[in-house]
Amino acid sequence: MSRFVAGNLARFALLMVAVSVLVFVLVSVSPIDPVQANVGQAAYASMSPEKKAELARVWGGGIPLWERYAAWASAFVQGDWGTSLRFNAPVLDVIAQRAGNTLLLMAVAWAVSGAVGFALGVLAAMRRGGVVDRLVKGYCYVLASTPSFWLGLVFLVVFSVRLGWFPLGFSMPIGVSAADVTFADLLHHLALPAITLSVTGVANIALHTREKAIDVLESDYMRFARLRGASEGRALRSHGLRNLVLPAITLQFASVAEIFGGSVLVEQVFSYPGLGQAAVVAATGGDVALLVGISLVSALLVFGGNLIANILYGVVDPRIRRGEGVTADA
């Protein structure tokens, strides 16, 4: 157990270092001038060269990359994540204010896409070759090639602009104080972004579950169960669900990275104030401290998702925890 924990901690530390270095390098080679991006075109054009040089020095301009990274890393290990240039606030405060919206959006999309995708995959396998199977496969193939931001724009035009069923954006009504915002208001504003993310996340889990369910339905133990008089649905519930849940759990937790990537675009489309929208603002404004902070949080989410998948895999199937081989017919 201690070896497992130490190994994962070492991999997590290396991941954090690699992500932070990569973000620093990418921002340093970016053509975006943080001074010009943050003060605006008009103010920058009328600013004196001395003032520009002073602002560039305050925001780290002219300092070698390794010196800036060493200063940031030294402060980071002491709990100081830096100050955001675009929000003029500590990075930790900006992340704390927006992480709740993103985590709620991702959790709803993750749960809905997993449940719906699993159900559609099993249904298509039980009706393989039929109309239902073709409809599910066609639905999944179309969605698998559909960008989430494009689907979000379509949903926005249809359900918000045309039908007026959902608000145009944001996480709460405009002009209403935070104290007067109800839980129903939050769910109303969350619904359309969550539906967009869920719909695009259904395809992978449904297609994967369908293929696995067909293998299970054609296995010897399922044939034996049917010969004993059990219907296909009852035999699948009694003997096949465990073999279907295993890959579904792994795939769904491994999709955390995909859902987070989709949330960046969806938050931008719906003006939903989460980490994804803040990451776009930080990237376009050369706000390296905020961008590194959000990147580390996203890496933590992805690493956590993969780690939970590995642990659950071992819990559900002890052969994997013991390192034994698993054959397709087992």
Higher pLDDT, 173 or 323: 173
Query: Nearest CA to 139 among 150, 124, 127, 154?
Result: 124
Give yes or no: residues 116 and 46 share one domain. Answer: no
Residue 98 clears pLDDT 60, i.e. is over it: yes
115 within 8 A of 199, measured Cβ to Cβ: no
Give yes or no: residues 122 and 72 share one domain. Answer: no
> 275-284 and 91-126 helices cross at what angle (nearest 10)?
120
- The count of C-alpha atoms lying within 13 angstroms of the C-alpha of 297, restricted to the half-sphere facing its C-beta, is 24
Residue at 203 is within a domain: yes
Q: Which two structure tokens, joined as six digits, stand for 242?
A: 């465990």
Give yes or no: residues 14 and 101 share one domain. Answer: no
Give yes or no: residues 229 and 116 share one domain. Answer: yes
230 within 8 A of 254, measured Cβ to Cβ: no
**Strand-pair partners of 84:** 89
Give the domain-ending residue among 35, 62, 89: 89
Residue 105 parent element (H or E): helix 91-126
Residue at 307 is within a domain: yes
Query: In whole angstroms, what is the distance from residue 102 CA to residue 307 CA?
Result: 20
What is the band of 234 on the pLDDT scale with cuts at 50, 70, 90? confident
Domain that holds residue 299: 91-322
Cβ neighbours of residue 326 under 8 Å, at least 6 residues apart? Answer: 317, 319, 320
Query: In whole angstroms, what is the distance from residue 81 CA to residue 99 CA?
Result: 15
Q: Which two structure tokens, joined as six digits, stand for 142?
A: 């179309």
Query: Nearest CA to 12 among 315, 317, 296?
Result: 296
**In the predicted model, what is the mean pLDDT of the chain?**
84
Average pLDDT on 216-240 reads 82
Residue 327 clears pLDDT 60, i.e. is over it: no
Query: In whole angstroms, what is the distance from residue 120 CA to residue 207 CA?
Result: 8
Which pLDDT score, from 0 to 100, does residue 153 have? 92
Give yes or no: residues 193 and 309 share one domain. Answer: yes
Give the domain-ending residue among 66, 89, 112: 89
Give the domain-ending residue among 89, 123, 158: 89
Give yes or no: residues 312 and 252 share one domain. Answer: yes
**pLDDT per residue over 27-77, tens digit each?**
888 877 777 766 666 666 677 777 777 767 766 667 788 888 898 899 998
Q: Which two structure tokens, joined as six digits, stand for 322?
A: 């013991």
Residue at 195 is within a domain: yes
Average pLDDT on 305-311 reads 81
Query: In whole angstroms, what is the distance from residue 105 CA to residue 114 CA?
Result: 14
Helix intervals (H) in 183-287: 183-217, 220-227, 232-235, 241-254, 256-269, 275-284
94 within 8 A of 292, measured Cβ to Cβ: no
- Quote the number of domains for the chain: 2
